[in-house]
Amino acid sequence: MEVTVSRTGRCRWTLHSGSETTAREDAREELAAGLEEDEHVVDWKVENAEVDEHPTAPFEPYTIAFAVSVTVELDVGDREEAAEIGVDTIHDVLERAGVDGVTYTAEPTVSST
């Protein structure tokens, strides 16, 4: 059975950049590139990028926080199994994309395709 599993959360991304605006844009672009490259991801959204931590000294990184929503498509036996595998897959996708941490804001949503 093919299903989609979606999850939303808040992510953190740390990077060196010249300004707040550039840091927000670069973090979003880098995460988007990582999500677009993953074969399981069928939909994603990154919103509300904001500086979470400013550099504390010259040449120190910015930490950017933003809302993220990721949907993956899986071929699994049943909905319960899909939820478990989907949660793990989404977590792995975000980790491979390079986020420093994620706090999920809702339970996963499972839909049959």
Contact between 72 and 94 under an 8 Å Cβ cutoff? The reply is no
d(CA 81, CA 84): 5
Reported CATH class of domain 2-105: alpha beta
What are the extents of the domains in the chain?
A: 2-105
Residue 7, pLDDT score: 96
Beta-sheet strands, E only, within the chain: 2-15, 41-53, 62-75, 101-104, 109-112
Residue 35: the pLDDT is: 93
Longest dimension (CA), the chain: 53
| Residues in a beta bridge with 43 | 71
Residues 67-107: tens digit of each pLDDT: 999 999 998 888 888 889 999 999 999 999 999 999 999 99
**Which tens digit of pLDDT belongs to each residue from 31-56?**
999 999 999 999 999 999 999 999 98
Rounded Cα gap, residues 36 and 34, in angstroms: 6
